[in-house]
Amino acid sequence: MTIKKLAAILGLSHTTVSRALNDHPAISQATKNSVLQAAREYGYIPNSAARALRNASTGAFGLVIPDIQNDFFITITNAIAHQAAEQGWQMMLAITGDKPEMEHTVLRRLMTARVDGIIFAPTASPLDESRELLLRTNAVQLLRRHDSLPAPVIAIDDRYGIHLAVQHLRGLGHSRIGYIGSSLALSTGAERLQGFLQGFSAEEQAALEDVIAMGPPQAAFGGEAFARIMGSANPPSALVLGSPRYAMSILLAAKAQNIRIPDDLSLVAYGDVSWGSLLDVKLTTITLPETEIASACVAIIRQWMSAETPVTPEAFYAATQSHIFTPQLVPGGSTSAFTPRR
């Protein structure tokens, strides 16, 4: 069904039907109602591509994330999608798998679809071609940042968050504290490690080298790193997890090794996990401001959608500030005061 066919059925001009569908003030409400009713009956669907050529906004935006297994990204995606649906916006979700080539592919496809803007979590090493694409569109970096990219950032003060975990454990008397974090190639991994190290003197840092493990933000790595750290000659009395992806594998590994939490090992996790309520012991966590982050993303999207004329990337980047949110530590039952091993 096209506008021309709909116009022929109604005995109206093509222009009148088009204006009625777009709520033009020159068309009477009675005519609008009859056109909308016929459009529903005959299954007319507006051509969004054609409409995009006429209007400043397509009503669509891209959300590009590494995967849909990370609890943080799942929560953010659901929150943005829900608000987008309420506003009548179209969200196009793309997954990169943390691969630069896939990142370039999805960015190019989104731009081909004429989205008004893109919110994305960059990979560790974006291709030059991706950087060139981002110079031609409005984009925002989510959670992660890459200094070579021009886009502003909506992120968390990762360094402060991990430092809160160290302060909490040191306040409980722990001094030999281990850390499992994501790759230093990611901005989040580098910032969180710095937050951990700043809680110790240079001498203390040197003594902790054997209980610090860095790797990909994947569950399997968490379990492997845990086994290595706890199998050392002098295992830590407490452990900080730099990614929520590690929590499940580490808890399973601890159970397999008969390591009791918090009796044998105090544990602080970075970020909430959706299955946390199923545990016998509530995790001590660094809680991330997911609602505030989602709201900041929606505010950016609204800026794109409400523009009467297209906003150039240069103007957007010059006028848009980064937002860095502060996490909080929420004590739970997975941490307790240090007691010397017998």
> What is the spatial order of strands in the sheet that 323-325 belongs to?
90-95, 60-65, 118-120, 139-142, 153-156, 323-325
- Taking residues 34-46, report their average pLDDT: 82
Q: Where are the domains of the chain?
A: 3-46, 60-151+290-325, 158-288
Distance in angstroms (rounded) separating the CA atoms of residues 21 and 32: 7
Tokens standing for residue 109: 């496809």
Specify which of 270-274, 283-287, 338-342 reaches the highest per-range mean pLDDT.
283-287
Which of residues 279 and 104 earns the better pLDDT score? Answer: 104
Same fold, 3-46 and 158-288: no
CA atoms within 13 A on the CB side of 308: 0
- Taking residues 305-312, report their average pLDDT: 74
Q: In this predicted structure, what is the pLDDT of residue 54?
A: 46
Residue 333 φ/ψ, nearest 5 degrees:
-90, 5
Q: Does residue 225 have a pLDDT over 90?
A: yes
Distance in angstroms (rounded) separating the CA atoms of residues 94 and 116: 15
Return the sign of the alpha-carbon dihedral for residues 160, 164, 165, 169: positive
Tokens standing for residue 71: 């609890």
Q: Does residue 52 have a pLDDT over 50?
A: no
Q: What are the pLDDT digits (tens) for 194-224?
A: 999 999 999 999 999 999 999 988 889 999 9
Which of residues 40 and 200 earns the better pLDDT score? Answer: 200
Q: Model pTM?
A: 0.79
Q: What are the pLDDT digits (tens) for 68-117?
A: 888 888 889 999 999 888 888 999 999 999 999 999 999 999 988 888 89
Q: What angle do CA 141, 271, 267 make, to 5 degrees?
A: 145
Q: In this predicted structure, what is the pLDDT of residue 342?
A: 63
Fold exhibited by the domain 60-151+290-325? Rossmann fold (3.40.50)
Fold exhibited by the domain 158-288? Rossmann fold (3.40.50)
- Taking residues 117-130, report their average pLDDT: 93
Band (pLDDT 50/70/90 cuts) for residue 49 is very low
Which of residues 292 and 308 earns the better pLDDT score? Answer: 292
* The CATH number, out of the four listed (2.60.40, 1.10.260, 2.40.30, 1.20.1070), of the domain defined by the range 3-46: 1.10.260
